[in-house]
């Protein structure tokens, strides 16, 4: 089970907030009335710390980086968009929004290089200003066993950047279009699908008609059991935003939010559990509502 991560990196936010720069393309983000900025930050910290405690309680190793106040990085809690590690690589990714580019901080990059023993590859950043955007494992959901990356094309996931990713990673890509709750492109692939070792959880109905069968066929050819989500589960409950982890004993866990767990039906749950996965489901309601991302977005896998 070498392709299932045992370690993740998470960034503890200093000023979590609604980000108007990303809301332009993220229909999952919402303003929350009745809370001031301090209250929103405090609630997000409680949710973050509880999630860390839950992961650590089952033996998942969590590396924590602390964001700094005054940096205008309201989405720093979602580090999987600006870097990823896999297959002896440490890649830095080009970001769509100006304030998200500031999340790629030199001290954090240095710390990750120290943890992994791998020097960062920043070649994808060269065309960032020209709009070649690829926001990490938000933009791509990777089948590491078969070296396939699934990518829903959007402003944040472009063909040019995917072409470069294929060159430097050795992965092939399955590209498709998927529509969100406002009938525009889903901003990140990982809100509509998750690939585990033996199954894939995916919102097939969000994929446009001409691409849907091609994506399903690719998953099935990789011997993955397809667990289909409906659009309500995707758009209202973040049910596509999951990540499979394991501990040192090889016990497998599927991490999703409490909101996602609340909407899964008995058949979907039975399939997940039949593949010997325990479910971890921390409540992160404030983070989901304001940030427009869920638990998977909060964890960057560390492969060493």
pLDDT tens series, the chain, 304 aa: 679 999 999 999 999 999 999 999 999 999 999 999 999 999 999 999 999 999 999 999 999 999 998 889 999 999 999 999 998 999 999 999 999 999 999 999 999 999 999 999 999 999 999 999 999 999 999 999 999 999 999 999 999 999 999 999 999 999 999 999 889 999 999 999 999 999 999 999 999 999 999 999 999 999 999 999 999 999 999 999 999 999 999 999 999 999 999 999 999 999 999 999 999 999 999 999 999 999 999 999 999 8
Buried/exposed code over 59-80 (b: 16+ C-beta within 10 A; e: otherwise)? ebbbeebebeeeeebbbbbbbb
Query: What pLDDT score does 41 carry?
Result: 97
Q: Provide the CATH topology of domain 7-302.
A: 3.75.10
**Is 155 exposed, middle or buried (CB count within 10 Å of its CB: 0-12, 13-18, 19+)?**
middle
Query: What pLDDT score does 2 carry?
Result: 78
Domain borders along the chain are 7-302
């Amino acid at each position: 089970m070498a392709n299932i991560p045992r370690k993740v990196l998470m960034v503890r936010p200093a000023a979590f907030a609604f980000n108007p720069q990303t809301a332009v393309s993220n229909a999952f983000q919402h303003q929350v009335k009745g809370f001031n900025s301090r209250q929103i930050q405090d609630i997000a910290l409680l949710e973050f710390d509880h999630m860390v405690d839950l992961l650590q309680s089952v033996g998942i190793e969590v590396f924590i980086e602390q964001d700094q106040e005054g940096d205008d990085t309201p989405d720093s809690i979602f580090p999987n968009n600006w870097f990823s590690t896999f297959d002896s690589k440490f890649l830095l990714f080009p970001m769509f929004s100006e304030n998200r580019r500031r999340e790629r901080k030199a001290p954090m990059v240095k710390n990750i290089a120290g943890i992994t023993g791998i020097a960062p590859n920043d070649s994808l950043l060269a065309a960032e200003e020209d709009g070649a955007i690829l926001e990490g494992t938000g933009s791509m959901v990777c089948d590491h066993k078969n070296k396939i990356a699934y990518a829903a094309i959007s402003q944040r996931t472009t063909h040019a950047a995917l072409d470069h990713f294929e060159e430097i990673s050795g992965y092939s890509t399955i590209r498709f279009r998927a529509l969100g709750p406002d009938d525009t492109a889903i901003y990140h692939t990982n809100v509509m699908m998750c690939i585990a070792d033996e199954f894939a959880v995916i919102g097939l109905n969000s994929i446009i008609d001409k691409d849907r069968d091609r994506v399903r066929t690719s998953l099935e050819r990789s011997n993955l059991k397809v667990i289909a989500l409906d659009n309500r589960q995707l758009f209202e409950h973040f049910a596509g935003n999951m990540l499979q982890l394991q501990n040192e004993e090889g016990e497998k866990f599927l991490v999703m939010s409490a909101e996602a767990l609340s909407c899964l039906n008995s058949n979907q749950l039975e399939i997940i559990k039949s593949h010997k996965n325990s479910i971890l489901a921390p409540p992160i309601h404030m983070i989901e509502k304001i940030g427009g991302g869920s638990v998977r977005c909060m964890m960057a896998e560390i492969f060493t």
